[in-house]
């Protein structure tokens, strides 16, 4: 605990002898969501502590039902699978405002992690996310340069990675769009984790 010379706090014990904060129980696990896809269910654990803005934004879209009926529209083998922005007719769904990039949170774009997609503008993420299917070091924050801003990791796959890799390996056409559409039927909070 550090204080500048202007702050001199004293802890004064309350006269009633009431116990303050000495009884506690263990902290619980991070929130989890299930991505129900046409290929199976992928469960994500979300790192609210390290990426609060991204998790808050993502869960808001989950609550709004935004992701229901969207697709994994961009799949590049041994790189990542990306979705949450386009519907089954490949129309972009309207989103809320852009959020700050939390790529400096120390989390790495390793295989199985989920991160916010964005344009080349640093703080341009809205609803789209991607799951890394390889350790993508070059997506990590590396410095205050246009190429170094990185992509904010906000969770990881805890089950269904086989489904992620199945999607990753599926045939794609122009624009890296899967030839057989992979639909996100719904994303919902896991019971007991809310």
Partner 1 sequence: MQRALFISDLHLTGERPASNEAFFAFLEEAVPGADALYILGDLFEFWVGDDDLADPLNAIVAGFLATTAQHGTPVYVMHGNRDFLVADAFCKAAGAQLLADPTVVDLFGTRTLLMHGDTLCTDDTAYQDWRRLCRGKDWQEGFLAAPLESRRAQMLELRSRSEQDKRAKPPVIMDVNAAAVRDALHDHDCTRLIHGHTHRPGHHLVEVAARPCERWVLQDWYGRGGYLEATASGLRQVTLPAA
Phi, psi of 55 (to 5 degrees): -70, -45
Which residues on adjacent β-strands are paired with residue 46?
A: 155
Compare residues 18 and 174 and give the one whose CB is closer to partner 1. Answer: 18
| Residue 30 CB, nearest approach to partner 1 (Å) | 6
Compare residues 50 and 77 and give the one whose CB is closer to partner 1. Answer: 50
| Residue 134 CB, nearest approach to partner 1 (Å) | 27
Reported as half-sphere exposure (CB side, CA atoms, 13 A), residue 109 has a value of 27
**Hey, is 184 helix, strand or coil?**
strand
| Residue 70 CB, nearest approach to partner 1 (Å) | 21
Compare residues 88 and 100 and give the one whose CB is closer to partner 1. Answer: 100
| Residue 180 CB, nearest approach to partner 1 (Å) | 33
Can you give the binding site for partner 1, defined by CB under 8 A? 1-4, 6-14, 16, 18-31, 46-53, 55-56, 59, 100, 189, 192-194
Largest CA-CA distance found in the chain, in angstroms, rounded: 73
Q: Which residues contact 136 (CB under 8 A, 6 or more apart)?
A: 79, 80, 109, 110
| Spatial CA neighbour of 155 closest among 26, 42, 40 | 42
Compare residues 22 and 147 and give the one whose CB is closer to partner 1. Answer: 22
């Amino acid at each position: 605990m550090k204080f500048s010379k202007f702050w001199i706090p004293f802890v004064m014990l309350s006269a009633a002898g009431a116990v303050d904060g000495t009884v506690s129980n263990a902290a619980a696990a991070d929130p989890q969501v299930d991505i129900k896809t046409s290929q199976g269910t992928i469960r994500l654990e979300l790192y609210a502590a390290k990426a609060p803005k991204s998790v808050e934004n993502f869960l808001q879209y989950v609550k709004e039902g935004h992701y229901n009926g969207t697709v994994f529209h961009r799949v590049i083998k041994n790189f990542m699978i990306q979705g949450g922005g386009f519907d089954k007719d490949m129309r972009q769904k309207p989103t809320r405002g852009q959020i700050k990039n939390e790529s400096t949170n120390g989390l790495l774009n390793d295989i199985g992690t989920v991160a916010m997609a964005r344009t080349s503008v640093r703080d341009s993420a809205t609803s789209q996310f991607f799951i890394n299917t390889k350790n993508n070091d070059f997506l990590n924050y590396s410095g205050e340069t246009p190429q170094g801003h990185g992509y904010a990791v906000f969770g990881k796959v805890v089950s269904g990675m086989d489904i992620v890799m199945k999607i990753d390996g599926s045939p794609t056409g122009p624009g890296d769009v899967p030839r057989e559409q992979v639909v996100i039927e719904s994303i919902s909070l896991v019971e007991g984790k809310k």
